């Protein structure tokens, strides 16, 4: 009798464990089966008839990736193939942030009942249209040439990214150039620098220091600091390119005076600087269309006044992600409201917004950035676009040329485009990133107006 009871208990426990296992399996199957479809180690997919795989099209319907006779083919134009590589993807799925990889389930027509073996009569792989304009991307790649860097343009009203180019890049038909690379020319070629990298921002960060000043100090625009080219703080030197003498905010921004913004950051203090950086999107990721950006970084927790000063001019440990900086430019253009981006064209517009700045602060930054262009960079760079911009030249270590930046936006209603250009180890932002921004934004604006 006792034996039978023991056996019943064991049986009951085993049945319970079995049911738990089945339950867990069903739960995992329902919630995570598509992840297996997405996994590059799933060899089954390579055996599936590739003609069922959907195309990837640009915003104008230009085919960027297509399947024919079981082979994945890409656009006929080599420069377009290279320019959109990081968004479209490569044959070996090395690029983790590509649509081909992230939307593998949709492109293969995955569904819950049939998996990837959906009978042809029901469904084929779905085509995916992205928001990029391949011609603008091509122009961007031609403009940046052999430099490493990132170029991003998005519509700050709709959130659509029209240009996203990362270099170094390669032809998806010749992936061997990366694996055979001996010179370092292709180092980091699998990384989409717009999404997954962050760079020392240099003077671009002065916009944030200014925003903090405008937020926490009365009469910020009349605040005068003296620049004598070097300023000793805690026994160490903060340096400026010129001796600007007594200078006010607007001209300090236009002349990009380091001493002005270093002193301002020190007067604002760590907590005010950190608060504004965080409100403007530093130290957080942005997620959209299955992509997540690398965080921009601002941390002065262990900084003394010397490093706090340098942090206010975009040095110290500051890092800026190019997608974030483009969203940030959009927020200044939009009176403080940041429209989050998208890369896939959706049937329903699901625009997400976040407030980065108050309207007052955003409008003052806009005015100063407009003055940068009219008084310094030259309006002829962007004819008729009323561009507001800031350049940056970020020191990245001894024996290395600095990174050059230009960020900004067209303030015209008809051409709501924000941009970021960063060129690694290239020198002055106005000389390197500036001409690239000019070429690409002018073309993008022309296409918006068409």
Do the bridges between strand 128-129 and strand 56-57 make them parallel or antiparallel, or are there none, so unpaired?
A: parallel
Cβ proximity of 249 and 210 under 8 Å: yes
Write out the binding residues for Zn ion, residues 70-89 only, by CB under 5 A: none
Distances from the Cα of 133 to the Cα of 213, 237, 445, angstroms: 38, 46, 12
The contacts of residue 176 (CB under 8 Å, 6+ apart) are none
Interacting stretch for Zn ion, rule CB under 5 A, among 27-35, 177-185, 235-243, 302-310?
235-243
Residue from 153, 191, 227, 264 touching Zn ion (CB under 5 A): that is: 227
Does 316 engage in binding with Zn ion (CB under 5 A)?
no
Indicate whether 143 belongs to the interface with Zn ion (CB under 5 A).
Answer: no
Query: Taking CB under 5 A as the rule, does residue 253 contact Zn ion?
Result: no
Could you give the count of Cα atoms lying within 13 Å of 167 in the half-sphere of its Cβ?
Answer: 22
Backbone angles phi, psi at 321, to 5 degrees: -90, 130
**CA–CA separation, 33 and 235 (whole Å):** 60
CB of 254 to Zn ion, least distance (A): 11
Could you tell me the smallest distance in angstroms from the CB atom of residue 243 to Zn ion? 7
User: In whole angstroms, how close is the CB of 203 to Zn ion at the nearest point?
Assistant: 11
Among 86, 104, 206, 244, which residue sits at the site for Zn ion (rule: CB under 5 A)?
A: 244
Maximum Cα–Cα distance across the chain: 101
**What's the helix, strand, coil split of the chain in %, to 5?**
40, 20, 40
> Looking at residue 318, what DSSP letter applies?
-
The whole-angstrom separation of Cα 35 and Cα 327 is 29
Q: Which of the ranges 240-248, 285-293, 296-304, 381-389 carries the binding residues for Zn ion, by CB under 5 A?
A: 240-248
The region of 83-91, 149-157, 255-263, 421-429 touching Zn ion under the rule CB under 5 A is 255-263
CB of 393 to Zn ion, least distance (A): 14
Shortest distance in whole angstroms from residue 73 CB to Zn ion: 55
305 vs 273: CA distance, rounded Å: 12
Q: Which of 88, 207, 214, 240 binds Zn ion (CB under 5 A)?
A: 240
For Zn ion, which residue of 257, 280, 308, 407 counts as binding (CB under 5 A)? Answer: 257
The SS3 assignment for 349 reads: coil
262 scored as a contact of Zn ion (CB under 5 A): no
Q: With contact defined as beta carbons under 8 Å apart, do 417 and 441 qualify?
A: yes
Q: Determine the size of the site formed for Zn ion (CB under 5 A).
A: 5
Nearer to Zn ion, 47 or 246 (CB): 246
7-32 core/surface letters (b: 16 or more CB in 10 A; e: else): eeeeeeeeeeeeeeeeeeeeeeeeee
Alpha-carbon distance 391 to 395, whole Å?
13
User: Does 259 interact with Zn ion (rule: CB under 5 A)?
Assistant: yes
Instruction: List the x/- string, 182-221, binding to Zn ion by CB under 5 A.
Output: ----------------------------------------
- Interface with Zn ion includes 263 (CB under 5 A)? no
Read off the tokens for 421: 């250009």
CB of 312 to Zn ion, least distance (A): 13
Residue 53 or 240: which CB sits closer to Zn ion? Answer: 240
Q: How far apart are CA 99 and CA 256, in angstroms?
A: 39
Binding part of the chain for Zn ion, among 187-195, 256-264, 314-322, 346-354 by CB under 5 A, reads 256-264
Does 264 contact Zn ion by CB under 5 A?
Answer: no
297 or 428: CB nearest Zn ion: 428
Q: How far is the CB of 261 from Zn ion (least distance, A)?
A: 9
Q: Which tokens hold the place of 68?
A: 């024919």
Rounded (10°) angle between helices 359-372 and 206-216: 140
Q: How far is the CB of 259 from Zn ion (least distance, A)?
A: 5
CB 430, min distance to Zn ion, A = 16
> In the complex, which residues of this chain contact Zn ion (CB under 5 A)?
227, 240, 244, 257, 259
């Amino acid at each position: 009798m006792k034996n039978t009871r023991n056996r019943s208990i064991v049986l009951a426990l085993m049945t319970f464990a079995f049911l738990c296992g089945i339950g867990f399996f069903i739960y995992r199957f329902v919630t995570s089966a598509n992840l297996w479809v997405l996994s590059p180690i799933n060899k089954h997919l390579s055996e599936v008839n590739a003609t069922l795989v959907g195309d990837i099209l640009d915003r104008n319907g230009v085919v960027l990736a297509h399947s024919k006779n079981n082979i994945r083919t890409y656009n006929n134009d080599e420069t377009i193939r290279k320019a959109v590589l990081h968004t479209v993807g490569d044959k070996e799925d090395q690029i983790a942030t590509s649509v081909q990889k992230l939307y593998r389930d949709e492109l293969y027509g995955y569904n819950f009942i049939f998996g990837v073996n959906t009978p042809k009569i029901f469904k084929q792989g779905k085509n995916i249209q992205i928001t990029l304009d391949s011609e603008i991307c091509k122009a961007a790649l031609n403009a940046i040439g052999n430099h490493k860097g990132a170029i991003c343009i998005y519509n700050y009203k709709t959130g659509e990214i029209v240009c996203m180019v990362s270099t170094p890049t390669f032809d998806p038909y010749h992936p061997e150039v990366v694996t055979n690379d001996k010179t370092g020319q292709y180092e980091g070629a699998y990384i989409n620098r717009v999404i997954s990298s962050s760079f020392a921002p240099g003077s671009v960060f002065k916009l944030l220091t200014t925003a903090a000043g405008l937020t926490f100090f009365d009469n910020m625009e009349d605040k005068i600091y003296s620049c004598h080219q070097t300023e000793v703080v805690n026994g160490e030197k903060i340096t400026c390119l010129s001796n600007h003498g007594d200078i006010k905010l607007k001209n300090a921004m236009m002349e990009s005076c380091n001493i002005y913004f270093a002193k301002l950051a020190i007067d604002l203090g760590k907590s005010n600087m950190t608060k504004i950086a965080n409100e403007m999107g530093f130290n957080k990721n942005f997620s959209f269309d299955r992509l997540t950006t690398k965080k921009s970084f601002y941390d002065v927790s262990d900084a003394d006044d010397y490093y706090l000063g340098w942090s206010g001019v975009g040095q110290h440990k500051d890092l800026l992600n190019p997608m974030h900086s483009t969203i940030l430019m959009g927020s200044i253009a939009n009176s403080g409201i940041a429209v989050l981006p998208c890369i896939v064209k959706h049937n329903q517009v699901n625009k997400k917004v976040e407030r980065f700045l108050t309207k007052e602060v955003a409008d003052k930054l806009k005015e100063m950035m407009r003055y940068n262009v009219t008084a310094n960079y030259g309006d002829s760079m962007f004819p008729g676009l009323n561009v507001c911009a800031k350049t940056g030249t970020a020191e990245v270590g001894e024996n290395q040329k600095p990174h050059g930046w230009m960020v900004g936006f067209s303030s015209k209603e008809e051409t709501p485009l924000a941009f970021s250009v960063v060129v690694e180890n290239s020198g002055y932002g106005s000389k390197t990133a500036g001409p690239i921004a000019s070429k690409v934004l002018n073309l993008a604006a022309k296409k918006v107006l068409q």
